[in-house]
Amino acid sequence: MKISPLKKVLFTFIASLAIIATLLFLFIVISNNVQQYHNTLETAVTNILLGEENFNHMKKIADLIKKRDRDIQRIAYIAIDHKRPLQFIETMEQISHISNVKITLTADETAGDSQSLIFRAALQGSKQGVRTMLAFIQQLPYQINIQNISFQQDTINTAGAVQTSSSAITQLLLTMKVKTQ
């Protein structure tokens, strides 16, 4: 059986078209895959650059925190622990002892809120001692807001066998609102 030249040309043309269509299909599929991989790679590079930028930023923040550690610790002492105000109470007792002033300190748990405690302090001593105590209270590292203050000075007479003397007792009542953490 002999194939005519026209059939040969037609068969060659159809085979060529099929090969070209197959190659074109493969080119489109491979091109789409390359584009997807390119987009994925581009996203990965962007994420790496953002991660590197965040890392550098966090490193700067960590260095700043190291440099400012003392300041941060000092700021932490501005507020007292809401559940355990013992450190504040002990500090008040210490400065009253240094000032030679008798102190009665009570916490009013009903008047405070979640961010502060209310303390009532009754100070009793010499005028100079009470002034010294107030100066120490002003120097405390805590955030203290004086809500109420009441001042009273009494004279006490003491009579002895040989002499009579009088001394002034100063009484100061304070209501303080102290910031808590």
Q: With CA atoms as reference, report the closest residue to 150 among 175, 128, 125, 126.
A: 175
pTM for the predicted model, two decimal places: 0.51
**What is the full per-residue pLDDT of the chain (181 aa) written as tens digits?**
688 888 889 999 999 999 999 999 999 999 999 999 999 999 999 999 999 998 998 888 888 888 887 776 666 566 676 677 788 888 889 999 998 999 998 887 776 677 888 889 999 999 899 989 988 888 888 888 888 888 888 765 555 544 444 467 889 898 888 887 7
C-alpha separations of 107 from 73, 113, 149, 167 in Å: 25, 12, 16, 31
The tokens for 10 are: 């037609």
User: Looking at residue 153, what DSSP letter applies?
Assistant: E
The tokens for 178 are: 């102290």
- The 3-state DSSP class for residue 2 equals coil
Q: Which amino acid is at 91?
A: T
